[in-house]
Amino acid sequence: MQVDLQSPWRIGTVEIPSRLVLAPMAGVSVQAFRRQGRRYGAGLVCSEMVSCAGLQHRNERTLGYLRIASDEHPLAVQIFGSEPVTMAEAARMIEAAGADVVDINFGCPVRKVTKTGAGATLLDDPQRACRIVSEVAGAVSVPVTVKMRRGLENGSRTCLDVGPRLVEVGAASLTLHPRSAKQMYTGFADHSLTAELVERVDVPVVASGDIAAPADARALLEQTGAAAVMIGRAAQGNPWVLREILTSDSAEPNREEVVAELMVFIRETARELGEQRATSFLKKFYGWYLGRGRFPRQFKAELTQLPTIADVEQRLLIAAPGAADVLEHLEAELPAGEAIELDLPISIYGGG
CB-based contacts of 311: which residues, under 8 Å, 6+ apart? none
Distance CA 82, CA 125 (A): 10
More confident residue, 67 or 180: 180
Please state which CATH number belongs to domain 9-249+339-346. 3.20.20.70
pLDDT in tens, 146-166: 999 999 999 999 999 999 999
Catalytic residue among 46, 52, 108, 130: 108
Among 135, 74, 133, 134, which residue's Cα sits nearest to residue 101?
74
Where do the structural domains in the chain lie, given as residue ranges?
A: 9-249+339-346, 255-321
Helices (H), the chain: 31-39, 52-57, 84-97, 111-114, 126-139, 158-168, 192-200, 214-224, 240-247, 255-273, 275-281, 283-290, 297-305, 309-319, 323-333
Is 108 labeled as catalytic in the residue annotation?
Answer: yes
% of the chain surpassing 90 pLDDT:
74
Q: pLDDT tens-digit profile of 9-56?
A: 999 999 999 999 999 998 899 999 999 999 999 999 999 888 887 776
Q: What's the rounded mean pLDDT across residues 298-319?
A: 96
User: The pTM is what?
Assistant: 0.92
Which amino acid, one-letter code, is at 282? L
